[in-house]
Amino acid sequence: MNELTILISCPDQVGLVTNITRVLAAHQLNIVAMREFVDEPNRAFFTRIACVGNVNEQEKLKQILLNNLPDNAIVNLITQLDKQIAILVTKEYHCLAEILIKNQFKTLGANVKCVIGNYEELKEFTEQLGIPYFYVSHADKDKSAFEQEMKTIINQFDIDYIVLAKFMRILSADFVKDYAGKIINIHHSFLPAFIGANPYRQAFERGVKIIGATAHFVTDNLDEGPIITQHTTHVDHNFGVKEMVRAGKEIEKKVLLEALELIFEDRIFVNRNKTIVFK
Amino acid sequence: MNELTILISCPDQVGLVTNITRVLAAHQLNIVAMREFVDEPNRAFFTRIACVGNVNEQEKLKQILLNNLPDNAIVNLITQLDKQIAILVTKEYHCLAEILIKNQFKTLGANVKCVIGNYEELKEFTEQLGIPYFYVSHADKDKSAFEQEMKTIINQFDIDYIVLAKFMRILSADFVKDYAGKIINIHHSFLPAFIGANPYRQAFERGVKIIGATAHFVTDNLDEGPIITQHTTHVDHNFGVKEMVRAGKEIEKKVLLEALELIFEDRIFVNRNKTIVFK
Amino acid sequence: MNELTILISCPDQVGLVTNITRVLAAHQLNIVAMREFVDEPNRAFFTRIACVGNVNEQEKLKQILLNNLPDNAIVNLITQLDKQIAILVTKEYHCLAEILIKNQFKTLGANVKCVIGNYEELKEFTEQLGIPYFYVSHADKDKSAFEQEMKTIINQFDIDYIVLAKFMRILSADFVKDYAGKIINIHHSFLPAFIGANPYRQAFERGVKIIGATAHFVTDNLDEGPIITQHTTHVDHNFGVKEMVRAGKEIEKKVLLEALELIFEDRIFVNRNKTIVFK
Amino acid sequence: MNELTILISCPDQVGLVTNITRVLAAHQLNIVAMREFVDEPNRAFFTRIACVGNVNEQEKLKQILLNNLPDNAIVNLITQLDKQIAILVTKEYHCLAEILIKNQFKTLGANVKCVIGNYEELKEFTEQLGIPYFYVSHADKDKSAFEQEMKTIINQFDIDYIVLAKFMRILSADFVKDYAGKIINIHHSFLPAFIGANPYRQAFERGVKIIGATAHFVTDNLDEGPIITQHTTHVDHNFGVKEMVRAGKEIEKKVLLEALELIFEDRIFVNRNKTIVFK
């Protein structure tokens, strides 16, 4: 008996759930949990089904499901347990450390294959925990050369996701396209407030009483990708920029790790510029 | 086209979702949202299905569903929009007012048919908002006479739920039995901490940094009924008992109203001494 | 023995606390609570002191304090218990109702003298609770005439604060100037995100996972006044615009009432475009 | 110019703040932040004053302050920046890792001198991060021998605080007495709910909708010491014991680290069985 997660998205129509569940029943697959969502304005259907049973021929099951669904349906059958990830960093340790600690104690739901940094600050720490660190400076080279160096490293591994754990360089459209839907970023503000650089200074100047952080998929448009998770925390007049940064870091790591957990458990669909999160 | 909510609970077995969805498809009912939960230790299955379509013979549909489910299945088809409720109060206004305001502006999801109080403090306010208030003192009579008076009033109306909105008398097992599964209470602590009277004083004496409130179904065992919703809020050393009461009241009304919203939308199953909440 | 709240703001310098407390001790005033804040970049000092004692000649005490403080110091001695307020509304009931209920049960810390609405929707409800409602339509007149009508009403009463409880007209710079520092608004978003109209639609379109609300003092710059309080709540892909509005209203009333409580207890300083909140 | 933190507790009486601030002014100490609290039922006064200036003779300043305060006053002058701590663990990594990471990157506000574990599970990880790990098994020896071994290690270092980071043995009254006021524990429930072992199983059985964690000073009475910080998080019917444990661990590390930050910044007074926290 195996666990199998099935992700399906397709145009909405009457009878989808019935069609899908009938196929699963015919394959002796018992549904443990099923979530679905209909984006009515766009007439799109999404479902995540966790089931148990014996599936010897996954490709055949997938084909039968597609035969019972509207055209343009996307079906994913997932049995793989742990994802493989690469982490990109600059100088800040807090998100990287949270990921590496969970990686070390096998509670991340993914395996960290490598860390790539455009500075050397986090090299020693990463290696202390037994993870390879690749130092790829962005200095004295153009962006495409810089990114090509990173790609060469990333492509050595069989990577499912690239996590930008406070990576402070903007990736080119080409890089993003090469790993479409696979790059997750943690943005240090409650988007869409304080887009761009220095959000904590902006928050300080504006005198807000709350700061936040946002984990999102990376797309061409900086800070505009589909949002996965967000959290906020209260601040007050006693918080200078430095205190906001400190409080913000705690939120950043919480938001990023929560997003990663959802991604690694295959609980997220990207639906145009938004996400559907089946918690 | 009508909206129909279907609640089903039964012993768990393979194929339940398929059986149910096949029946619905055969009746041209389109599933808008479906949630299910399996209590594995107790091998019990629960589902809530929201669908749209034309159902002329509900009783017949219910029978067909039962025929396709294990013995001892419970099926509820719900089309009624607003529930009818009675509210029991003592002297505190905050929960009552929150309910009556939403009732007045038709955002409660229920109709308040009457308010019964064992004091007169809230009579004028209730009547200002056009709701009948029945003063039933508990003084100088035994509990069964007191409760019989309340029952006579309640039974004049076609009541779906009785809301204890800070009603400070303990109801007898007999009363509870007469309205089994229909009585909701707001308890002024984060249960199971501070069971019993004066929870805010207990919280103050213990020096806790958080206080909370709990909405639960009322059963024979005081403060032991199935919990529906809970929230907490931070307090500190500046909070005396009075300040804790004030902060607690804000939490109480939030917790109670959230529970009522879930109940009035038929999102809750009672599963032994717990609840399943399909948000 | 009376309670006296003292608010002082002045340029920062060494020895301020000593100077102030020495004056208070000389007047047999016992300090119950004292909070201070130094805005270091702007070298400004703020303190709120709650004390008890007998002060027969407040004006004299104020003068002595001023004599012991730097030039340009501002000293407020406050013994008045309840503030007098006017409320401006349009059609939405939720913030108004929350204020009127607390007003009715004497837990607002202020007295509502009148409600002014540019529609008639909330007239009946307001009058049910015994508060005068003035209907001042903005239609068929220019803004200055509209505002003059409101001013005439407001000025009949001895108003400390004007609360915009979902008042959906933009006030002119002249109106704001006439009541400088006395107008509080609840904005239906987590500022500075989603400035302007339809923030819930903007939030829906962007696919955010959190929505919020902001209470702020009103200044010339729309949505740019000093922020008093903010809160957020989680939303997900199941929330359409309508559900976001519903969830947002709960946050709006919480944020506004929290801000009002702080204002009515004289816990807030406006410091340039920010607030200092001594909770 | 140095930063100096002054902690004072004493019986309450009129003029304390004046007396204290006059002494500080006479020593050219500028008050940056001052917080005070009066426990009125017990007539006790507490203040924390952060000031800057030159203090060459701290002992003399302390004596002058004592001379200006009631009998039994306690005065602490603190200039030491980082505390020295020992950590006691059993098998769970999450709290230990959070502390060691912050220690490594110098953001803990303390220096971890050693980790003592009654199992070997965390030895390798601790040593990877360059911190000495002492394995002291509790097996095959009586409690006093076990504790004596730990004391011998602890006393090698100049320890300010002992942090029980999920240390699952109950310490004897003697051990607690030796380090009175210096031992901080993280309890895996929202105290006083679910005192004792297996709180997550208790929470699961009761069907609560919230779980929490509590950081407290350790006293003779298990789980009854003064509470420093508490947080909660929502759970639902989908959470089995395992999921509650996982969610609980995130709360535990947040609560413990928040408590440690407050302690290391000297923001906490123990007042009988409660704490005063000057955030």
Q: Is D270 on the interface with A (CB under 8 A)?
A: no
Amino acid D221: pLDDT: 83
Integer Cα distance of D217 and D247 in angstroms:
23
Q: Are residues A60 and A95 in the same domain?
A: no
Amino acid C193: pLDDT: 82
Angle of helix C241-264 relative to helix C94-104, nearest 10 degrees?
40
**Listed residue (A227, A228, A225, A198) closest to A211, CA to CA:** A198
Average pLDDT, chain C: 94
Mean pLDDT of C115-121: 98
Q: Is C62 exposed, middle or buried (0-12, 13-18, 19+ CB in 10 A)?
A: middle
Amino acid B67: pLDDT: 97
- Does the pLDDT of residue B138 top 80, yes or no? yes
Range of the domain at B217: 83-277
Query: D66 by DSSP, 3-state: which?
Result: helix
User: Which token pair is D78?
Assistant: 């603190």
The answer to whether the CB of D72 falls within 8 A of the CB of A76 is no
Half-sphere exposure of D244 (CA within 13 A, CB side): 27
Name the least confident of B113-122, B218-227, C210-219.
B218-227
Contacts for C218-221 with beta carbons within 8 Å, 24 or more apart?
Answer: C218/C164, C218/C171, C218/C176, C218/C183, C218/C184, C218/C185, C219/C176, C219/C273, C220/C173, C220/C176, C220/C177
Q: Are residues B102 and B68 in the same domain?
A: no
Instruction: Read off the pLDDT band of B182 (50, 70, 90).
Output: very high
Q: Which of A22, A24, A34 sits opposite B22 (nearest CB)?
A: A22
Q: Is D97 on the interface with A (CB under 8 A)?
A: yes
Integer Cα distance of B14 and D171 in angstroms:
50
> Per-residue pLDDT tens for A14-58?
889 889 988 998 898 888 888 999 998 999 999 999 988 888 889
Query: A261 by DSSP, 3-state: which?
Result: helix
- Strand pairing of C74-78 and C83-89? unpaired
For chain C, the first-to-last Cα distance in angstroms comes to 24
The residue behind tokens 């204890």 is B164
Angle at A175 between CA A173 and CA A181, to 5 degrees: 90
Q: How many CB pairs under 8 A join A and B?
A: 42
What residue type is D226 in one-letter code? P
Amino acid C194: pLDDT: 81
Q: How many CB pairs under 8 A join A and C?
A: 83
The answer to whether the CB of C88 falls within 8 A of the CB of C117 is yes
Amino acid B257: pLDDT: 98
Q: In Å, how far are A241, B252, D209, D244 from D205, measured between CA atoms?
A: 45, 23, 11, 11
Q: In Å, how far are A47, B227, C253 from B25, measured between CA atoms?
A: 18, 35, 43
Q: Are residues D109 and D22 in the same domain?
A: no
**Listed residue (D98, D118, D125) closest to D110, CA to CA:** D98
C187 CB-near residues (< 8 Å, 6+ apart): C199, C213, C214, C215, C216, C223
> Per-residue pLDDT tens for C133-174?
999 999 999 999 999 999 999 999 999 999 999 999 999 999
Q: Are residues D100 and D225 in the same domain?
A: yes
Q: In Å, how far are B6, B42, B106, B163, B228 from B271, measured between CA atoms?
A: 17, 10, 30, 20, 11
Q: How many domains does chain D have?
A: 2
Q: Are residues D198 and D130 in the same domain?
A: yes
Q: Which three-class secondary structure string do you get for A79-138? A: CCCCEEEEEEECCCCHHHHHHHHHHHCCCCCEEEEEEEECCCCCHHHHHHCCCCEEECCC
Q: Which chains touch C (3 or more CB pairs under 8 A)?
A: A, B, D
What residue type is C128 in one-letter code? Q
Q: Which residues of C fall within a CB distance of 8 Å from B250?
A: 254
User: From its phi and psi, is residue A192 left (phi > 0), alpha (psi between -120 and 50) or beta?
Assistant: alpha
Q: Do D17 and C34 touch (CB under 8 A)?
A: yes
Integer Cα distance of D279 and D268 in angstroms:
9
The dihedral built from the CA positions of residue B82, B86, B92 and B97, taken in this order, carries a sign that is: positive
Angle of helix B16-26 relative to helix B58-67, nearest 10 degrees?
150
Q: Which residues pair with B86 in a beta bridge?
A: B114, B162
**Listed residue (D241, D251, D242) closest to D201, CA to CA:** D241
Q: Is C43 on the interface with D (CB under 8 A)?
A: no
Under DSSP, the state recorded for B48 is E
Q: Which residues of A fall within a CB distance of 8 Å from B14?
A: 25, 28, 30
Helices (H), chain D: 16-26, 58-67, 94-104, 123-128, 143-154, 173-178, 199-206, 241-264
Report the 10 Å Cβ neighbour count for A73: 16
The residue behind tokens 């020895």 is C15
> Per-residue pLDDT tens for B158-167?
999 999 999 9
Q: C167-190 as b/e, with b when 16 or more CB fall inside 10 Å? A: beeebeeebbebbeebbbbbbbbb
Amino acid A60: pLDDT: 95
Q: Do D105 and A128 touch (CB under 8 A)?
A: no
Integer Cα distance of C193 and A21 in angstroms:
42
Name the least confident of A120-134, B15-29, B92-106, C243-257.
B15-29
Q: Do A227 and C206 touch (CB under 8 A)?
A: yes
> Per-residue pLDDT tens for A121-154?
999 999 999 999 999 999 999 999 999 999 999 9
**Listed residue (A267, A258, A211) closest to A98, CA to CA:** A258
Q: Are residues A53 and A121 in the same domain?
A: no
Q: Are residues D127 and D204 in the same domain?
A: yes
User: Which token pair is A141?
Assistant: 């080279």
- Does the pLDDT of residue B222 top 80, yes or no? no
Q: Is B195 on the interface with A (CB under 8 A)?
A: no
Q: Are residues B26 and B98 in the same domain?
A: no
The answer to whether the CB of D180 falls within 8 A of the CB of D225 is no
Q: Which chains touch B (3 or more CB pairs under 8 A)?
A: A, C, D
Under DSSP, the state recorded for B155 is H
Residue stretches of chain D with pLDDT short of 70: none
Average pLDDT, chain B: 94
User: Which token pair is C55?
Assistant: 């002060």
The residue behind tokens 């440690």 is D260
Q: Are residues D70 and D156 in the same domain?
A: no
Q: Can you tell me the ipTM of this complex?
A: 0.94
User: From its phi and psi, is residue C74 left (phi > 0), alpha (psi between -120 and 50) or beta?
Assistant: beta
Q: Looking at per-residue confidence, does D54 or A243 come out higher?
A: A243
Amino acid B4: pLDDT: 93
> Per-residue pLDDT tens for A207-237?
999 999 999 999 988 788 999 999 999 999 9
Q: What percent of chain C has pLDDT over 90?
A: 78
Name the least confident of A101-105, B23-27, C134-138, D132-136.
B23-27
Angle at A35 between CA A29 and CA A37, to 5 degrees: 135
Q: Which residues pair with B270 in a beta bridge?
A: B275
Q: Which of D22, D33, D36 sits opposite C18 (nearest CB)?
A: D22
Amino acid B243: pLDDT: 94
Which CATH number is D10's domain given? 3.30.70.260
Q: Are residues D72 and D97 in the same domain?
A: no
Q: What percent of chain A has pLDDT over 70?
A: 100
Which CATH number is B202's domain given? 3.40.50.170
Final residue of a structural domain among C34, C50, C78: C78
> Per-residue pLDDT tens for C8-38?
999 998 889 889 988 998 898 888 888 999 9
Establish whether the linkage from the previous residue to D192 is cis, with ω within 30° of 0.
yes
Amino acid B57: pLDDT: 86
Amino acid D197: pLDDT: 77
User: Which token pair is C7?
Assistant: 């608010």
The answer to whether the CB of A200 falls within 8 A of the CB of A248 is yes
Q: Are residues A88 and A46 in the same domain?
A: no
Q: Are residues A147 and A32 in the same domain?
A: no
Q: Which of D209, D232, D276 sits opposite B229 (nearest CB)?
A: D209
Task: Return the residue in C32, C48, C89, C105 with the most chain B beta carbons within 10 A, the one to mutate for interface testing.
Answer: C105
Integer Cα distance of C156 and C134 in angstroms:
12
Q: Is A221 on the interface with C (CB under 8 A)?
A: no
Amino acid A30: pLDDT: 84
Instruction: Read off the pLDDT band of A80 (50, 70, 90).
Output: confident
Q: In Å, how far are A186, C89, C136, C221 from C86, measured between CA atoms?
A: 44, 10, 14, 22
Mean pLDDT of B120-135: 97
Q: In Å, how far is C177's CA from the nearest CA of chain B?
A: 35
- Strand pairing of A161-164 and A133-135? unpaired
Final residue of a structural domain among C29, C44, C78: C78
- Does the pLDDT of residue A192 top 90, yes or no? no
Instruction: Read off the pLDDT band of B220 (50, 70, 90).
Output: confident
For chain A, the first-to-last Cα distance in angstroms comes to 24
Contacts for C193-202 with beta carbons within 8 Å, 24 or more apart?
Answer: C193/A190, C193/A191, C193/A192, C193/A193, C194/A192, C195/C222, C195/C223, C196/C222, C196/C223, C200/C241, C200/C244, C200/C245, C200/C248, C201/C241
- Strand pairing of C227-234 and C30-39? unpaired
Integer Cα distance of D265 and D161 in angstroms:
13
Final residue of a structural domain among B57, B78, B99: B78
Q: Which residues pair with D262 in a beta bridge?
A: none
- Does the pLDDT of residue A75 top 90, yes or no? yes
What residue type is B278 in one-letter code? F
User: Which token pair is C13?
Assistant: 């310098």
The dihedral built from the CA positions of residue D94, D96, D99 and D104, taken in this order, carries a sign that is: negative
Integer Cα distance of D253 and A133 in angstroms:
27
Query: B246 by DSSP, 3-state: which?
Result: helix
The answer to whether the CB of B261 falls within 8 A of the CB of B82 is no
